[in-house]
Amino acid sequence: MPARKAYKVKKSDATRLATIMREEVQRAVTQIRFSGHPKPFYISFLVRDENVRQIKASYGSLSADSEERKRTGYCDVHVGSYRHDQVQDGGLYDNSQDDDSYSYIDLPFGQRDSGIRHGLWRQAEVRYREAVEAYAAKKSYELTYVDRNRNFFSFEKTPAIEDVRWKKSPGVDSAYWSRFVEMTSLIVRDFPEVKESHVLFKAHNRVHVFVNSEGRLIVQCLPLWSVSCFLWLLPPSGDALSWTISHFTTRPDELPDVRAFRREIRETVEKLKSLARAPALRSYSGPVLLDPIPAGLLVHEALGHRLEGNRMLCTGEGQTFRDSVNQNILPPYLSIEDDPGLKDFQGRSLVGHYRYDDEGVAGEKTKLVEHGVLKTFLTSRAGISSRHRSNGHGRNERHERTISRMAVTRVISENGKSDAEMKQALIEEVQRQNLPYGIRILSATGGETATESYNFQAFLGEINMAARVFPDGREELVRGVDFVGTPLNATRTVAAAGNRYEVDNAYCGAESGWVPVSTISPSLLITHLELQAKSDPPYSQPCYPIPWEVQSQ
């Protein structure tokens, strides 16, 4: 049987789609009228043409093999004026699945124009009605409450531009990847302690087409490739340990081959077995050395989300750093920038890269923090100051209103220390604080943060692997804790930074959905950070052994 090839969006399809979208957006902005209500001054369509190929195996056997072709659309309609439109609170709450427009996100992808034209018409018509309702609600709100953002333009106007760049996506060799997931997942049979596991391959071919009533037309190709292995190990203690090995890229040639991935799985299982034997740590407060990936996660959660400009427009947000522009928030040897245009770093592709954001604005390198001083925020077209200008960070996933989000975030250290020097700095800080040991966080996989004013201004990072570091330099693995902290305390207690950088490609979730992001960071030493116990309860052992455990006895 010949190898199955995944569908690829063709350049001719994208060009034809762009032409239809341009015609429909002009028809909508000139013809939408409803007596007694404001007409639209701006309309845009963002259509995502996607093909998702997934192949999954568990313990050497295929368990899923799917291909999905989908086309979704996001229509943005503004009524009123650029000075004062219907959007409130920076659009953070414009993401309800109960809105009528949510029913019309999915668009036809067949060859006849009539289907896509009808879908775009339906979206624009319903979104206009929702915009008019929101405009009336905003006017009513202003009868009682002061709009502190009234002096800012609600929406930035941009000039016409046309930028169509096509990038041919490599095909998916289904036979190769089927064998890959089978052969790599089979290795887990050697470890009966691992009670649950699977290997997943995913190829996500994305073509984004954007048009608006200002004359913008943009086509960009944004492919994503990944392989991952989930491992769930249950030791005799019942304290289960999970780990996901992930390779997330924009190019298939960066993915490991069968031999390399099998070796990585085997090494990771051995790590989990070592962790299972490690003592549990229930709490800790003191100096913490974060390796590059956990350090990037801390910056992302503690600082990154709080520098998203749309949050400065929301009355329900804590706005921790709103009044800190041109003030020191980090040591002078640290800078932070976000550059969506950066494609690669040290040979690794960056999944947060794009040329234009989801509002059709070119992504710009934005220097957020220079030598410790906060300079600006990540911005979309929603005005956050009298001299507002979008730096191209407006992003969304599906139906959510576009808000400013991180893309490719770089933490840059000047005269950074080597790994050995960072460990020595941790030991010296432990001795200075007269503590029995410090903590080194070796791996962390995800986190969360609360930015709302009614909530605690705190963040959490999920630790995979950590170790006690004693004054004599010895390291002892510990388990069962996550790191927690508050943004101001974390940023003000950075004591040192390393000179070795690592890339973390992942997805980030917020009010505008899940978007791919990249974080590049060195290691960081924090003089005071807290660890708290994980909330996972212990599991009982299986009622009888895994089949191959019996065979091995």
Give the residue-averaged pLDDT of 142-168: 93
Q: Average per-residue pLDDT in the chain?
A: 94
Residue 392 scores a pLDDT above 70: yes
For residue range 72-82, list pLDDT tens digits in order.
Answer: 999 999 999 99
Q: Domains of the chain, with CATH numbers?
A: 11-219 (3.30.2290), 283-533 (no CATH)
Contacts of 99 (CB under 8 A, 6+ apart): 130, 399
SS3 content of the chain, % helix, strand, coil (to 5): 25, 35, 40
Q: With the CA atoms of 187, 294, 525 and 374 taken in that order, what torsion angle do they form, in degrees rounded to the nearest 10?
A: 160
Write out pLDDT tens, residues 92-129.
999 999 999 999 999 999 889 999 999 999 999 999 99
Q: What is the pLDDT of residues 276-311, one digit of tens each?
A: 999 999 999 999 999 999 999 999 999 999 999 999
Give me the mean pLDDT over the 62-69 stretch: 96
Question: Among all chains, which residue has been given the structure tokens 């490719």?
Answer: 408
What value does the mean pLDDT take over residues 346-355?
98
> Strand 161-164 relative to strand 216-221: parallel, antiparallel, unpaired?
parallel
Q: What are the start-end ranges of the E strands in 294-429?
A: 334-338, 344-345, 348-349, 366-370, 373-374, 394-395, 403-404, 408-413
Confidence at residue 207, expressed as pLDDT on a 0 to 100 scale? 96
Q: Give the Cα-Cα-Cα angle 406, 410, 413 (nearest 5 degrees).
A: 150
CB neighbour burial string for 137-176, b if at least 16 within 10 angstroms, e if fewer: ebeeeeeeeeeebeebbbbbebeeeeeeeeeebeebbbee
Share of the chain above pLDDT 90, in %: 89
The residue with greater pLDDT, 306 or 549, is: 306
pLDDT digits (tens, 9 = 90+) for 211-231: 999 999 999 999 999 999 999
Binning pLDDT at 50, 70 and 90, where does residue 550 land? low
- At 55, is the pLDDT very low, low, confident or very high (cuts 50, 70, 90)? very high
> Nearest-CA neighbor of 270 among 149, 187, 208?
187
pLDDT of 3 over the 60 cut: no
Per-residue confidence band for 2, with pLDDT thresholds at 50, 70 and 90:
very low
Say if residue 7's pLDDT is above 80: no
The fraction of the chain above a pLDDT of 70, given in percent, is: 98
- Cα torsion for 273, 247, 411, 524, to the nearest 10°? 10
Please state, as a whole number, how many other Cβ atoms lie within 10 Å of the Cβ of residue 553.
7
pTM, full prediction: 0.94
Per-residue model confidence (pLDDT) at position 551: 55
The pLDDT value recorded for residue 456 is: 78
